[in-house]
Structure 1
Amino acid sequence: MDSYPAPTERDALALDASDTEGSLREEFLLPPYGDGQIAYFAGNSLGLQPAALAERLGEELADWAQLGVEGHLEARRPWVSYHELLREPAARLVGARPHEVVMMNSLTVNLHLLMASFYRPEGDRTRIVIEDTTFPSDSYAVRSQAAWHGLDPDKTVVRLKPRAGEDNLRSEDVAAFLEEEGSTVALVLLGAVNYYSGEHLDLELITRAGHAAGAIVAFDLAHAAGNVELKLHEWGVDWAAWCTYKYVNSAPGAVAGAYVHERHLQDRSIPRLEGWWSTDPSVRFQMAPEVTPQATADAWSMSNPPILAMAPVLLSLEIFDRVGMATLRRRSQRLTGYLESLLDTLGASHFEVITPRDPARRGCQLSVRSHRIDVGELAETLRRDFGVIADARQPDVIRLAPVPLYSTYHDCWRAYDALRRIQESS
């Protein structure tokens, strides 16, 4: 671990002056607090608004006003093919090939659409493997998929837990389970970065183990896209889905992403739920009654792109292309390491970091267990009294995410100083 200075405000400000690589703070709108700004650590729930977004949305509204329906072909970014503008930058974000990626729908909708194709229980191979602390929406989705196939969710869905006394599920334990019981597993669907603990799983290891067991391997990238470097194609991941309103900063409920490895794109035996945008675009307006298959991830899309919802995603992806995930990951590790070093000085009587210490096993989130203070009350005190926005996750965790695009060392110091003061007064 790098060596950091003693936890003083002056040193935090000095670090901000000397370490600016990857920071675009001036390009984001931070909520106000008093005469200054909020120290914002909730980008893992909702990323901040890019300052350029109002102008970008205004361009789309102006095209609609001036062109009406002709905007589908004549807008400055024609609407009929608007989603194609997102394809390459989204692929770069998750380490995929462009034809393997499509931006569409919302995260859980995409999970269901992809499970409709790739969760095909048969014989003894019926089980779905998730982590015990998976996000509730994922749990609901896989349980409903099992029930849809006439299976008992309590028996079909396997919830892998950490070892006794530990807070994080080890990737090697996932691989060991698949080696021992993989013949009964139809689908592995894990969070690449766990929403609760902030742990980053070894996706390559798990994919290799799942394939060796004969299972389909997929990942929910909600807390990974825009947070950690990904190589989905290289690792051979079968499919993945992610939202874009967290680290990708694309507005509340923004259009989500989906990835399907190219080895599946030519396979006509894979069933799909289809709509107008599933068909080959070269014949789409012939209005044929049957789909003409296309060998891209677009085959899983259904409807024409929602322009006003896609505009923020496109702008955000342009920002990531400009900075690069490698640069952001380096800055993320510096900021998160600094915040961790500050929190360590508090001891563990009140607040304990449960996120893995190894930088390779986490993104920018540090999950802090509160031993003596209700986390809902703690989050409210941080916001109201100190201008620090974190979020609470029951039963006992607050999450602090120093997002490299807009967070600073001084933000980290403010979070530490607030917790120190709260600890001293409790």
Structure 2
Amino acid sequence: MTRPPGLLVAAPRSGSGKTTVVLGIQRALVRRGLRVRGIKCGPDYIDPAFHAAATGLASFNLDSFAMREGLLAAIAGYAGAGADLVVAEGSMGLFDGVRQEPGRTGASADISAMLGWPVVLVLDVSGHAQSAAAVALGCARYDTRIEISGVVLNKVGSERHLQLVKDGMGRVGLPILGALMRDADLMLPERHLGLVQAGETVELESRLDHLAHTVERSIDLDRLVALARPTRAVALDAAQMLPPPGQRIALAFDQAFSFTYSHLLAGWRAAGAEIKTFSPLADEPPPPDCNTCWLPGGYPELHAGRIAGARRFLSGIRSFAESHPIHGECGGYMVLGRTLEDSEGVVHPMAGLLPVDTSFAKRKLHLGYRISQLLHDSPLGLAGQCHVGHEFHYASITGSDKAKDWALATITDAAGKDLGIAGHRCGFVTGSFFHVIARV
């Protein structure tokens, strides 16, 4: 199996500018003629879509809590095939994760340690000068499994500021690969779940080229590429991969339904399944020759009125549900429900296939890993099977038939705390706020 060199771009904390630096590096290297594969550590849909836009190749997720070592290796190998270089992006802080045994915390450092990728540390130096070196040194010494090979200074205020930071870095011996000055034009637009989706970002190509141009002027790319190391060989085991929910899968895909993991789609295709996309926002029903329908998450709350008026889509999915399985994750679950209240308090009728009403006006953050055990057969698998995934949404359930006979699964959090029942099942239709990543 091809094992191209890779490196991990990470930071001591969220908000340091990892994504903008990563996108600039990816696009700059593509402009040099390299085939660059993006990777995102942890459960995230939005950043991988930007990676794909920057590189022209689908980006994959690696998660040390949700995925065992064999599956991580299998996905890394699949993602690396045909690439010249893997540029991975960390999540949150480099060592941030859940309380589990070393190597299974979900932290970005676990991925670096397992696959042998060196770390390039992005430091937001806007609030300090020489002290930035102490932060970098702490990261370098915190975990002996990994190697921090260089730093990129971000949000530098002036040449004087840069010299002060360099003085501190010189004392700890960590090489500076480059420095980006503070520039509001480098920031990407955000909304409640993070960045605005790649497909909705205005003038995305020009933004990516601007990032690349900034990186080309500010970072020693030759030195950065030379730091990359071949992906460490690990025994492959794809047994955790979720089997295809059907032979021909109707997949909703547009600006309201875009949160799908590349490793799931690749796994389904590798198992022989055919995936046909359709757009509810374009008032398209599921293709009638498919035998399963999958409605992923996304931002349906931003398009609730348009979905409510999509008569061909709603009538088509109701007809599909009479004889074929349908599963909805998060936003897809909301659309399969009875009603969806938008942020303005307007209640919109949805498909009415599951006994649940949801609201985005009554916002509450639901965030974290989830371990589920299916109570009934569904497109996810057979009753009793367990899966690991995550929730990340602000929507609330305002009305629901909560009897266990209607529920899809029981769930716990990453620490094993019982969170009760989750989701719904009605006839051939199932759904929940839970995004599945892999089988347990």
User: Which TM-score band applies after superposition, normalised by the shorter structure?
Assistant: under 0.3
| Structure showing the higher strand proportion among its residues | 2
**Higher relative CO (CA 8 A, sep ≥ 6), structure 1 or 2?**
1
Q: Give TM-score, length-normalised by structure 2.
A: 0.25
